[in-house]
Chains A and B, each alone.
Chain A
Amino acid sequence: MATRTIVPFGPQHPVLPEPIHLDLVLEDEKVISAIPSIGFIHRGLEKLVEKKDFLEMTYVAERICGICSFIHGQSYCQAIEGVMKIDVPERALYLRTIWGEMSRIHSHLLWLGLFADGFGFESLFMHSWRVREKLLDLIEETTGGRVIFGTAKVGGVRRDMESLTLKRVEDELKIIEKMSHELTDVFKKDSSVKRRTVGKGVLSKEDAITLGAVGPTVRGSGIASDMRKLGYAAYGKISWEPVIETGCDCYARCMVRCRELYQSFDMIYQAMAKIPDGPVDVKVTGNPNGEYFARVEQPRGEVIYYVKGNNTKNLERFRVRTPTFANVPPLVKMLGGCELADVPVIVLTIDPCISCTER
């Protein structure tokens, strides 16, 4: 038996934008097992409900994560709306869908860039981010913020989009879609990309269920699990099917995200065609009383927002379970038996977002 070495991976590592620590038990170059530890950036945001009232918490929820900011805000609002049984105007639901999908495209483009960077394809990384920049401009034009959208609000959305803006956004998105095709073609067909991803970090279908994987990680293992199928916002009114790949490896997870890009573009076009006129918010009166688990699909997977109110301005409990938290056990499974050089690539395929995870 070869001697075993323990190599620390992180909390600071070139491929990791945020700190997560893994103790890798190696036998020569082979990873036998990995022990994760998190908690370097625990901010205690869940505790903040005791100080902020439930409407102000929207701003906090939006700032839990920089990448899926809008969807965090939306999930929080949906949780409160679920408790208080607020009827959200239909136009607001469509706008939430449009912004939510724009945020998904931006997240996936960012991830594709980071992934390319993870296996050393620098020019592909630059190109992904150049495409993403165009989308960020569009987001700023429609919401006012490049990263923190700031448009989610309990009972609707804070801004409206005029029909002229909608048309312009659609035209711009078509250009971005064309640019993304050139980009995803490389991920799909390039032999050097394939050599770093095909057959690496395998997560079987059974493991994906028992380990509770979510998002592109579980869909890359051939399971159609997408919370948008619950039909919140306008997802129940547009036609789409969850993207699944059956490869179970890093390549499959990458392909899921590539195909989801186009699915998101398509959803936005559909939502823009169907968007009704009307108000975008309703006035919220009273305090939340009761509890609710809201489940929403983020770019990284399913997010759970649990709120419990006791008929006061401050919530009794606010809990967020982010997709990366659920994807840590599958990551540990994927790392067992891989090569040391593949660890960064495999870690990136769950799209780790540690600040979200620790809140």
Chain B
Amino acid sequence: MMVHVEEQSLVVVDKGQIVDKATQMSKEGFRLVQISCLAKDSYEVTYSFDKNYACAHVRVVLPKDNPELPSITGAYFAAFTYENELQDLFGIKVSGLALDFKGKFYKLSVKTPFAPQPQQPAQ
């Protein structure tokens, strides 16, 4: 009776559709809540949006090799922090970033520490 579980929607879209989806969300007045990533056999990048306490998640699944993602900073400028994080911690290449720190957003001793281990050397 006391368990508090929020209703949250989740849709999986293609890599190519994410920018359109973000633009559409932005037009509808959604706020970008966060972008997170799960790296196991593939990369699962989850974008969360919120409007009037209703949370909507959009997920993009990327292959393990050479993950690449278009930036949504055109629709949400605030995404630059999250996308730089994806670049620095997971090694996902984000193209078209409005503010690209080129791997210098986090000061790390190990390159892309959250990428799936063991890391394949670049061919």
Contacts and interface: CB of A to CB of B under 8 A. Distances in A.
A–B: direct contact at CB < 8 Å:
yes
A39 B105 contact: yes
A44 B113 contact: yes
A321 B31 CA distance: 15
A81 B108 contact: no
Nearest to A218: B31
Interface string A36-73: 01111010101100000000000000000000000000
Nearest to A292: B5
Interface residues of chain B: helix, strand, loop or mixed (majority): loop
A138 B83 CA distance: 42
Nearest to A156: B2
B25 to A, nearest CB: 11
Given A47-B113, A78-B4, A39 B88 contact: yes
Interface residues of chain A: helix, strand, loop or mixed (majority): mixed
B11 interface: no
A329 B77 contact: yes
A37 B103 CA distance: 11
Contacts of A78: 4
A294 B36 CA distance: 13
A330 to B, nearest CB: 8
A149 interface: no
B62 to A, nearest CB: 15
B122 interface: no
B106 A35 contact: no
B13 interface: no
Contacts of B2: 87-90, 93
A211 B78 contact: yes
B80 to A, nearest CB: 7
B81 interface: yes
Interface string B17-61: 000000000100101111011101000001010000101010000
A328 B106 CA distance: 14
A304 B3 contact: no
A35 B105 CA distance: 11
B104 interface: yes
Contacts of A81: 3-4
Contacts of B108: 39, 42
Contact of A231 (B4, B26, B29, B31): B4
A304 B99 CA distance: 24
A260 interface: no
Given A78-B4, A210-B26, A212-B78, 16 more contacts: A35-B99, A37-B101, A39-B106, A39-B108, A42-B106, A44-B113, A47-B113, A82-B6, A93-B2, A230-B4, A293-B48, A306-B46, A308-B38, A321-B33, A325-B81, A326-B34
Which 8 pairs between the two chains have the least Cβ-Cβ distance? A39-B106, A329-B78, A321-B34, A212-B78, A317-B38, A319-B36, A232-B4, A39-B107
Interface of B: 1-6, 8, 26, 29, 31-34, 36-38, 40, 46, 48, 53, 55, 57, 76-78, 80-81, 88, 99, 101, 104-108, 113-114
